[in-house]
Amino acid sequence: MSGKDVGSPHSHTTSRSSISRRTLLASGAAVGATTALGGCLGSEDNRLTVGFALPFTGTYALLGESIVAGFELFIEQQGGEINGREVEFVRRDTEAETSRGVDVTRELLLEARADAIVGPVSSAVAMAMIQPIQTESSAIWFNANAGDYRVTAEGCPEYHFRTSFNDWQTSAPLAEFVYEEVADNVCLAYADYAFGQNSKEFFKEAFEDLGGEVVEEVGAPLGTDDFSPYLGDIQGSGADAVYSFFAGDDAVNYVNAFSDFGLNEEMVQTGSGFMLANDTLPAQGESALGMYSLLHYTTTHDTERNREFVENYVEMYDETPNVYACQGYDSAQAFAGAVEETGGTDPDEMAESLVEMEFDSPRGEFEFDPETHEAIQNLYVREVVEADDGESVENEVVETLEDVEGPDWGCSHR
């Protein structure tokens, strides 16, 4: 399908969708839309233009492709148009590079005349995107992954709506579960870069406010292959539990080493949901059993809405959706809802309408905080258990934290 047509790192991709018209299960939020890629850019021919500012090459390409896949699934499910207008997708590869992200944003706003920007993955890129989006004031922005809280806190951009998460949400709310159900003392182990540092600080503050004790902090550089020295420090802390933030290959290496080191027999491992996610569990396997994590979406969450989403996604792409696909899907829901409600694409009018809406998502119902434009959403404490096939492992929801609202970061859009 068109969402897979990725050219060179600086390619400009605009093509008409080749998705087959198959019968899909009905979506919970039926707003008409089609994918029509190709022809003239912008809105002069009454089309709606969605600009994807995402990585389509390099380490984070999977995340970018997943976000696009989720977005296109929602559009396809609705079978045609948003408010009688075809939808055009324009893809620009940020390469997860800050300077490239700025160029991409300007291209989408000025050349493609995008009505909505979806992306990015990198928080550094997101920070760089704020200025051109605010200056042009011509498009609504759905942040479908970049989770650094500072994207909101530093400037409170009025056209920015986070359809994903922030680093407070995937860390601090887990503190109460750990304190009450696991241990009153922890060691913090984290990837030593901005997101990892933010995550451990948010968890630490919440845990200590509850009366918990942080006995040690252990930071490991991104891309660490040998965790032995750090695991020795974790073991030496004498903590009963560990809270961690790692993702991707680091998460795989850390969890497997944690188990090999025998630490799973001495202390309980907890952490951000990205440490124990769809993209890491296959490589972690039994090493991850019994570990707890927190995230806003879980593929195995047993609700009718999520089961439909997973079935539709598998039917279209022949693979299981991940959290990034859900974030893309909900970005499409939000855009469609705003266009339908306002009858147009004026970003000020769409911003006003978005804070009044509730969305029926595979993650559970969510809405946008009117002050911060962050998602107010359920968060799920998950435990890694054996899957029904007896061979693989999966996350099982053990507790739901409902309608979690985060800090206001000093923002006020009212």
Q: Which structural domains are found in the chain, ordered by start?
A: 9-165+305-376 (3.40.50.2300), 174-295 (3.40.50.2300)
Distance CA(343)–CA(53), nearest Å, equals: 25
Distance CA(49)–CA(196), nearest Å, equals: 35
Count CB-CB contacts under 10 A for residue 45: 11
Distance CA(386)–CA(396), nearest Å, equals: 9
Distance CA(240)–CA(293), nearest Å, equals: 16
The angle subtended at Cα 72 by Cα 71 and Cα 73, nearest 5°, is 90
Distance CA(129)–CA(138), nearest Å, equals: 13
Q: Which residues of 306-341 are buried (b: 16+ CB within 10 A; e: fewer)?
A: bebbbebbeebbeeebbbbbbbbbbbbbbbbbbbbb
Tokens 């760089």 correspond to 128
Count CB-CB contacts under 10 A for residue 46: 9
Residues in the chain, how many?
A: 414
Distance CA(2)–CA(15), nearest Å, equals: 6
Per-residue model confidence as pLDDT tens digits over 36-75: 433 334 445 789 999 999 999 998 999 999 999 999 999 9
Phi and psi at 361, nearest 5°, equal -110, 155
Residue 125 DSSP class: H
Tokens 């959290």 correspond to 323
By DSSP bridging, strand 87-93 and strand 292-295 are unpaired
Distance CA(244)–CA(269), nearest Å, equals: 8
Q: Which residue numbers in the chain have pLDDT < 70?
A: 1-44, 80, 414
Give the CA count within 13 Å in the CB-facing half-sphere of 204. Answer: 17
Distance CA(42)–CA(50), nearest Å, equals: 9
Distance CA(240)–CA(400), nearest Å, equals: 24
Distance CA(400)–CA(177), nearest Å, equals: 10
Q: Which residues contact 403 (CB under 8 A, 6 or more apart)?
A: 376, 377, 378
Q: Is residue 178 within a helix (H) or strand (E), and if so which, with residue range?
A: none
**Do residues 85 and 347 touch, judged by C-beta distance below 8 A?**
no
Q: Using only C-alpha atoms, what is the Rg of the chain? A: 21
Distance CA(201)–CA(195), nearest Å, equals: 10
Q: Which residues of 215-250 are buried (b: 16+ CB within 10 A; e: fewer)?
A: ebbbbbeeebeebeebbeebbebebbbbbbbbbbbb
Tokens of 349: 């009018």
Residue 385's DSSP bridge partners are 394
- Between the CA of residue 314 and those of 195, 243, 366, 413, what are the distances in Å? 31, 33, 24, 39
**Do residues 351 and 371 touch, judged by C-beta distance below 8 A?**
no
Phi and psi at 220, nearest 5°, equal -120, 140
**Do residues 146 and 164 touch, judged by C-beta distance below 8 A?**
yes
In this prediction, residue 30 carries a pLDDT of 35
